[in-house]
Amino acid sequence: MRFENKVAIITGAASGIGRAVAERLAAEGARVALIDRNQEGLQATAAGLPDQSRVWLRALDISREAEVEQCVADVLAAFGRIDILCNNAGIAGGDYSQITETDTAVWQNIMAVNVMGAVHFTKYAARSMREQRSGAVVNTASVAGVRSGAGGNAYSASKAAVINFTMTTACDLGEWNVRVNAVCPGLIETGMTAPVFARARAVQKEEKLGSRCELRRYGRPQEVAAVICFLASDDASYVTGQALPVDGGNTASLNLPGMKV
């Protein structure tokens, strides 16, 4: 019950990692505000939480600052405080084109959601955390923000921006005892990565998924959620400004497992 009497906002909560985070936080006593564009997915997440959980839902587009500002105000009105913010929502964009062929609109859309969505929620939620002199923000970045080969140009750049935003924001908020960290997932089976898994299964190559990381497998949303909840908890009370890979060892190698001597 690490999160008893604490209030958490989770974006991208309709599926995947966001749903797993909501389940873990609620199971450990948190009151949760679930945010996503997918109303049906939010309701499905809420239905899967423990019966005693206090749950609040809002369907919105996190790239729209005015909607985010109102959402944070409404969460405060409902629960009285915000202790945890999980900036998890994101999009891949589906664009793997080379830079010479890139579509500027794709870049703008990905940056608006993946970067500015986190900026908007942090801007308004951190004001409350600053007043209460406590809080934890956990951003979902990606190994794609650390090295190339894990996503398209725009997606990778957006996740690199999230990592740097994590560090600069940690410096902004540290004096008020507000911690800011990030996780960098590797290949995790979620709605975003569903096309990758579907293609591999269609050609009977599922066993190759994740085979280039040191653990030789892909990850589960619950494994990322466990690390997010650690960073959000008092167990990580002296950790801030860090981007922690949750990737089976992928970023520790040259994607050649067993070749390090």
- Residue at 260 is within a domain: no
| pTM metric for this prediction | 0.92
- The tokens of 188 are what? 């995790």
Residue 95 lies in a domain: yes
- Residue 239's φ and ψ, nearest 5 degrees, are -120, 120
Q: How many CB atoms lie within 10 A of CB 107?
A: 18
| Residue 170 CB neighbours (<10 A) | 19
222: in domain = yes
Q: Which of 96, 155, 218, 238 is catalytic?
A: 155
Residue 33, helix vs strand vs coil: strand
Instruction: Specify if 255 maps to a domain.
Output: no
pLDDT, position 178: 98
For residue 192, the enclosing domain spans 7-249
Q: Is 155 among the residues known to form the active site?
A: yes
Q: Which residues are CB-neighbours of 113 under 8 A, at least 6 positions away? A: 62, 63, 89, 90, 91
Residue 258 included in any domain: no
Total of domains in the chain: 1
For residue 148, what pLDDT is reported?
A: 83
Q: How many CA atoms lie within 13 A of 260 on its CB side?
A: 10
Angle value at C-alpha 175, between 158 and 74, nearest 5 degrees: 65
Does 259 map to a domain?
A: no
In the chain, which stretches have pLDDT less than 70?
191, 193-202, 204-206, 208-211, 254-261
Q: How far apart are CA 199 and CA 216, in angstroms?
A: 19
Amino acid identity of residue 110, one-letter, is: I
Q: In whole angstroms, what is the distance from residue 255 CA to residue 148 CA?
A: 11
* Helix H or strand E segment including 195: helix 194-202
Structural domain includes residue 184 = yes
Distances, alpha carbon 92 to alpha carbons 55, 84, 87, 158, 159, in Å: 28, 25, 15, 10, 10
Residue 177 lies in a domain: yes
Q: What is the CATH number of the domain that holds 161?
A: 3.40.50.720
- pLDDT per position as a tens digit, 186-240: 988 776 765 666 666 667 666 766 667 888 888 899 999 999 999 999 999 999 9
Q: Which secondary structure element, helix H or strand E, spans residue 212, and what is its range? A: none
What is the reported pLDDT for 11?
98
**What's the confidence (pLDDT) of residue 261?**
40
**Can you tell me which residue has the tokens 């749950």?**
55
